[in-house]
């Protein structure tokens, strides 16, 4: 078997009972590739692509170490997304339901960055080298 080049594909946990993940499509421009639904129509797993990068949304399970940010009103990670226009991505995400946690600004270390929290509590940092 040939070695596989590592590809980063985060799995983001969402609360149980979620039916709509349109924020990721409208707010980030993601494309939903596949969805595995529960018998009641709620989402078990949604596989999305953002510019060819894959990520998954997964409903919470009984594993206490894997949880959505809502459970503890915080997050252990910021998802950095390098984009051409930080301000446009911030505006698009906010229009789709995100809340700004750090407005876009230029930093002396050479990046323009801004943070939003999505409707499920995940923090996204839009960034660009300046």
**pTM for the full predicted model:** 0.91
Nearest to 51 by CA among 24, 14, 87, 90: 24
The DSSP 8-state label assigned to residue 81 in this structure reads: E
Per-residue model confidence as pLDDT tens digits over 113-126: 999 999 999 999 99
Q: Is the pLDDT of residue 3 over 80?
A: no
Question: How many whole angstroms separate alpha carbon 56 and alpha carbon 33?
Answer: 10
- Residue environment code for 19-57, b if the CB has 16+ CB neighbours within 10 A, otherwise e: eebebbbebbebeeeeeeeeeeeebeebbbeeeeeebbb
């Amino acid at each position: 078997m040939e070695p596989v080049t590592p590809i980063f594909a985060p799995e983001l946990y969402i609360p149980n009972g979620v039916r709509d993940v349109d924020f990721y499509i409208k707010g980030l421009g993601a494309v939903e590739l596949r969805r595995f639904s529960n018998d009641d129509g709620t989402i078990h797993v949604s596989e999305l692509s953002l510019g060819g990068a894959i990520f998954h949304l997964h409903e919470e399970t009984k594993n206490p170490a894997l949880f959505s940010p809502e459970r503890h009103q915080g997050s252990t990670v910021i998802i950095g997304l390098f984009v051409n226009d930080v301000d446009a991505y911030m505006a698009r995400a906010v229009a789709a339901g995100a809340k700004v946690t750090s407005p876009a600004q230029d930093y002396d270390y050479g990046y323009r960055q801004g943070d939003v929290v999505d409707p499920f509590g995940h923090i996204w940092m839009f960034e660009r080298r300046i």
